[in-house]
Structure 1
Amino acid sequence: MSSVTVVGAGVIGLSVAHELAAAGHRVRVLADRPATASVSAVAAAIWFPHDVNRSAAVLDAAAVAYRRFEQLASDPATGVAMRPGTVMVRRADADTSWTRSIPSFSRTAAGVRCTVPLIQTDVYLSWLRATVLAMGVRIDAVSVTSLPEDSDAVVVAAGLGSAALLGDNDTFPIRGQVVRLANPGLTDWFTDEDNPDGLTYVVPRAADVVCGGTGEVGSWDEIPDPAIEAAILRRVHALVPELRGQPVLSRGVGLRPARSSVRVERVPGYARPVFACYGHGGAGFTLSWGDAARIAELIAQIN
Structure 2
Amino acid sequence: MPTTALRITVIGSGVIGLSCAHELAAAGHQVTVAYDQELTECVSSVAAAIWFPYHSENSPAADQLLRDSLARFEQLSQRPETGIDLRRGLNVDHRPGADRSWTNIVQGTEEAAPHELPAGAHAGVWATLPIITMSTYLGWLHRQVQDLGVKFVKGTVTGLAQMKDSADVVVLAAGLRGGELLGDDEGVYPIRGQVVRLANTKNLTQWLCDDEHPEGVSYVIPRRDDIIVGGTDTANDWNREVEPQTSVDILKRATALVPELDGLQILEHKVGLRPARETIRLEHVGGQPVPVIAAYGHGGAGVTLSWGTAQRVVELVEGLEGSG
Q: Are 1:45 and 2:56 an aligned pair?
A: no
Question: 1:235 aligned to 2:253?
Answer: yes
Deviations 1:83-110 (A, max 9, x none): 1111111211211111122223111134
1:58 aligned to which of 59, 62, 86: 62
Match of 1:118 among 124, 131, 143: 131
Distance of 1:55 and 1:4 partners within structure 2: 29
Contact 1:77/1:127, CA 8 A, preserved across alignment: yes
| Shift, 1:58, TM fit | 1.2
**For 1:54-73, what per-residue CA distance to the aligned partner results, in whole angstroms no more than 9, with x for missing partners?**
21111110111111011111
What does residue 198 of structure 1 align with? 216
Tell me, yes or no, if structure 1 residue 292 matches structure 2 residue 296. Answer: no
Residues 79 and 121, structure 1, Cα contact 8 Å, conserved in 2? yes
Partner in structure 2 of residue 154 of structure 1: 170
Tell me the distance in 1 between the aligned counterparts of 2:286 and 2:105: 30
Which amino acid is 2:112 matched to? T
| Alignment partner of 1:171 is 2:188 | yes
> Which moved further from structure 2: 7-16 or 96-105?
96-105
How far apart are residue 273 of structure 1 and its match? Answer: 1.8
C-alpha contact 1:60 1:101 (8 A) present in aligned 2: no
Find the partner of 1:275 among 293, 296, 299.
Answer: 293
Deviates more, 1:55-64 or 1:3-12: 55-64
Residue aligning to 1:33:
37
1:270 and 1:213 mapped to 2: Cα distance? 38
Query: Which of residues 188, 211, 223 in structure 1 aligns to 2:241?
Result: 223
2:170 aligned partner, one-letter code: V
Tell me, yes or no, if the aligned pair for 2:167 and 2:290 is still in contact at 8 Å: no
Query: With structure 1 as the length reference, what TM-score do the two structures score?
Result: 0.98
* Structure 1 stretch displaced more, 161-170 or 5-14: 161-170
The reply on whether 1:17 has 2:21 as its aligned counterpart is: yes
Aligned mates of 2:167, 2:83 — CA distance in 1: 33
Question: Is 1:214 matched up with 2:214?
Answer: no
- Any conservation in 2 of the 1:88–1:191 contact (CA below 8 Å)? yes
Q: Which amino acid aligns with 1:146?
A: G
Structure 2 residue identity aligned to 1:247: Q
Tell me the CA shift for residue 3 of structure 1. 0.8
**Separation in structure 1 between the aligned mates of residue 32 and residue 105 of structure 2, nearest angstrom:** 31
Report the equivalent of 1:127: 140
Q: Deviations over 1:106-155 (max 9, x none)?
A: 11134111111111101100111111111010011111111111211111
C-alpha distance in 2 between matches for 1:35 and 1:301: 31
1:101 is aligned to 105
Matches within 5 A, 1:60-75: 60-75=64-79
Q: Say which SS state the counterpart of residue 216 (structure 2) adopts.
A: coil
Cα distance, 1:10 vs. partner?
0.2
Q: Name the Cα RMSD after superposition.
A: 1.0
Q: Where in structure 1 do 4 or more consecutive aligned residues deviate above 4 Å?
A: none
Distance in 1 between residues matched to 2:76 and 2:38, nearest whole Å: 22
Unaligned runs of 5+ in 1: none
Letter in 1 for 2:175: G
| 1:139 and 2:152 matched | yes
| Residues paired across the two proteins, number | 303
Matched, 1:248 2:266: yes
Give the structure with higher Rg (CA).
Answer: 2
